[in-house]
Structure 1
Amino acid sequence: MRRQFVNDPHDVVREALEGFARANAHLVRWDREGNFVARAQPAAAGKVGLLAGGGSGHEPLHGGFVGIGMLDAAVPGAIFSSPTAAQFEAATRAVDGGAGVLHILKNYTGDKLNAGIAAEIAAEDGIAIERVLVDDDLATDFEDDRSPGRRGTAAVIAVEKLCGAAAERGASLADLAALGRRVAEGSRSLALALSPLAHPGESRPSFELGDDEIEFGVGIHGERGIDRRPFAPADELARQLVEPVADALELGEGDQVAVIVNGLGATTNLELQVVFAEVARRLDARGVQTARALVGPYLTALDMAGCSVTLVRMDAETLALWDAPVRTPALTW
């Protein structure tokens, strides 16, 4: 049986938002009425507002990336559920400083639908809105007329960071949208789970795994993967993640990437650094430069044990944006 720090499972998101806002009151505020997280001190008028949203259970995404150099607001849904159109609309209006608002969304139907409704309503009042859709999950990269396409995963962190830096420098809404789409297109990810997650208040996991098995290509909501494979040493598991991603991006001699080795909730930083070491060695062997890296839990899946590997193509412009100052609860330099 899994034990968790939970009171009433129906209240866990609200209680977590209260704690998050109080712990980071110098950076963010929680708008209880609109149910979104925004900067404690709004950005200056004339700056494009950056807004992201999605289901809770992935902390620190997205609220942890609200602050100087990244997002202006984040909209949290229930656990693994899309925020409502009303939440998206309230947050959109709150961050509009006269230069428009950029919605950064992962490729999930509910997020797209509800953010789209909010955008239509806000547009009627003259608020210009653009959308960047992040769809980096290689596990769902297959042709099927009934498929919504690749899921959005950890590449959204790079999009939020790079667009956030550009917005602070005064980039226009159109330029930010173009930048975000370029970053998303140049990013791919893969994840695997060593053990499944359990929802708050639930003792049973989302799926069963044998002691000698891993779930390969797992989703960030506890979705089953595309393959069940034998458990193996860290270097072999890292190879299985990074090589298909590098192949998909056609990375080779002289290319530069940012690497995100992301923990899915119950994986220690010690283990993630071991995975990163092998990822970096594999890229070295291809002649690909690991220009920047993030290693840690940035987009989690409750208490899932596992990790994802994300590669993001980089160039001189995006490296400068990556290095630009950022101050948020989850990312600061």
Structure 2
Amino acid sequence: MKTKKLINEGAAAVDEMLAGILAAHPRHLRAVEGSPRSIVANHGPRTGKVGLVIGGGSGHEPTFLGFVGKGLADAAAIGNVFASPPPDPIIECAKAADGGAGVLFMYGNYAGDVMNFDMAAEMLAMDDIEVRTVLTTDDIASAPIAQKERRRGVAGNVFIFKAAGAACDLMYGFDDVERVARWANERTYTMGVALSPCSLPQTRKPNFEIGEDEMEIGMGIHGEPGVARGPMKSADEVTSELAGKILDEMKPARGDRVAVLVNSLGSTPLMELYIMMRKLKAMLDDAGLVIHVSLVGNYCTSLEMAGASITLMHLDDELQRLIDHPCDCAMFRSGEAL
């Protein structure tokens, strides 16, 4: 039995989504002429500023398009559902974002993205555009701590991109922008749980199977296997397990500050996310940690997958200033504090 979706043809879903986003947010976004998968901020790129280009597969909205705007990313290259963008739209994004101070590529650590963004960087070098890359690797379930470089980038992208985008907007030099991006990634931790599968527009069939009374801890945002599958647990039990693993690795001291994200994977409603937030706040209070900012909602989704993730960014003074820096994007805005 096929799933129900409000689409036309599955193969047209991404391009029709992009047309709708541009229709809804003309103040913030435009597409590069002749490259409809290259989405650029109207008020981001400028001379002397390091350009920030993000990107990846569709199906994770508002990641990546929602974080393109003044004070955050200058452009996003968009691929098909759960698929990397090819080099051409990445190149066009970089050219649009180039202010003469270099361009930073940031995206999740997935083989297809690495290959295509690296190809784009090599081609841009022939046009004398300096490109550097920082991969996001916040998913602590996807590899052990001894192999952190193999981890996937997931919902923590929101905070990592935010810090790097603020550094660009504040006219940091290229070395410092790269330093901030790597430090933000190093200090960001995510753990998720999946309750039910999603289905691709092209197939409208579940992309994995899970029992009615089962959940999977650590499943990836494309349906990659997690670390444990077992019977459903209560919201408090799940929150304790996810946050407990994060805190075990983070090893914060009492009085430390954190930025918090409780993220829906697509179909989990706000009611359930706030139930999780309630338990998470109690755990952080018990640990003596101070929540500087909290986000609850859809920030990095997996189409209509049921489930949620918890992200903590371990703040220091610089990261806090960068997280607080104003930004104005199509689907995400902040003033002096988020």
Compute the TM-score of the two structures, normalised by the length of structure 2.
0.94
Give yes or no for contact 1:48–1:100 (8 Å, CA) kept in 2.
Answer: yes
Count how many residue pairs are aligned between Structure 1 and Structure 2: 332
1:57 is matched with 59
Give yes or no for contact 1:325–1:332 (8 Å, CA) kept in 2.
Answer: yes
Counterpart-to-counterpart distance in 2, 1:212 and 1:166: 45
AA paired with 2:248?
A: D
Shift of 1:112: 1.0
1:260 is matched with 261
1:140 is matched with 142
- CA shift digits 1:12-53 (9 cap, x unpaired): 000000000110001001225222110124532111111001
1:106 is matched with 108
Counterpart-to-counterpart distance in 2, 1:148 and 1:278: 30
Counterpart-to-counterpart distance in 2, 1:277 and 1:161: 25
AA paired with 2:224?
A: E
Give yes or no for contact 1:52–1:74 (8 Å, CA) kept in 2.
Answer: yes
Give yes or no for contact 2:44–2:70 (8 Å, CA) kept in 1.
Answer: no
List aligned pairs for 1:84-233, cutoff 5 A: 84-142=86-144, 149-233=150-234
List aligned pairs for 1:15-54, cutoff 5 A: 15-31=16-32, 33-34=34-35, 35-54=37-56
Identity between Structure 1 and Structure 2 (%): 38
| Structure 1 pair 274–94 and aligned structure 2 pair: CA distance change class (3 A) | same
Which stretch of structure 1 is more off in the superposition, 54-63 or 281-290?
281-290
Show structure 2 runs of 5+ residues with no match. Answer: none
Give yes or no for contact 1:18–1:30 (8 Å, CA) kept in 2.
Answer: no
Give yes or no for contact 2:142–2:226 (8 Å, CA) kept in 1.
Answer: no
1:286 is matched with 287
AA paired with 1:262?
A: N
Counterpart-to-counterpart distance in 1, 2:276 and 2:205: 28
Secondary structure of 1:13's aligned partner: helix
Shift of 1:294: 1.1
Shift of 1:206: 1.5
Which ranges of 4 or more aligned residues in structure 1 deviate by more than 3 Å? none
Shift of 1:148: 7.1
1:321 is matched with 322
Counterpart-to-counterpart distance in 2, 1:45 and 1:280: 42
- CA shift digits 1:46-82 (9 cap, x unpaired): 1111100101000011111100110000011000001
- CA shift digits 1:172-215 (9 cap, x unpaired): 11101100100101111111011111111434212222222111
| Structure 1 pair 293–143 and aligned structure 2 pair: CA distance change class (3 A) | closer
Shift of 1:144: 9.4
Secondary structure of 1:292's aligned partner: strand
| Structure 1 pair 48–270 and aligned structure 2 pair: CA distance change class (3 A) | same
Give yes or no for contact 2:199–2:303 (8 Å, CA) kept in 1.
Answer: yes
| Structure 1 pair 293–142 and aligned structure 2 pair: CA distance change class (3 A) | same
Secondary structure of 2:266's aligned partner: coil
2:4 is matched with 3
Compute the TM-score of the two structures, normalised by the length of structure 1.
0.96
